[in-house]
Amino acid sequence: MGAESEKNHLQAETLVPKPNSVPNPNPNSITEAQFIAWKLRKDAEASAKKAELARNRAEDIAAGLVQMNGRELVEHDPSVFDNTLY
């Protein structure tokens, strides 16, 4: 009984494919290196876009085209909030 159980166990192990021995079923999949390169490129594009939007907003504020929020007003002219003058 023990030999038969061990034989069945060995047969079951040979039927289970090892992760590295199975070919990739999806030919369109990417490697980890390709994903990392894509992610770095995407993050760089996002930060460049965010920086450009911030620069455009600062230019519009300086030109008086848009209304400032409270944080922008404090950064632009902190003397507006100086209560020692009163």
- Containing domain of residue 49, as a range? 30-86
pTM: 0.53
- CA dist 77 and 74 (Å) reads 5
Question: What's the rounded Cα separation, in Å, for the pair 16 and 73?
Answer: 66
| Residue pLDDT, tens place only, 56-78 | 999 998 898 999 998 888 888 88
In a domain? residue 10: no
Total domains in the chain come to 1
Query: Do the domain assignments include residue 22?
Result: no
Determine, yes or no, domain membership for 19: no
Q: 7 lies in a domain?
A: no
For 19-42, the pLDDT digits (tens) are 566 666 777 888 999 999 999 999
CA dihedral of 50, 54, 55, 61, whole degrees rounded to 10: 160
| Token couple for 42 | 């995407």
Considering the domain boundaries, does residue 83 fall inside one? yes
> Residue 64 burial by CB count (10 A; 0-12/13-18/19+): exposed, middle or buried?
exposed
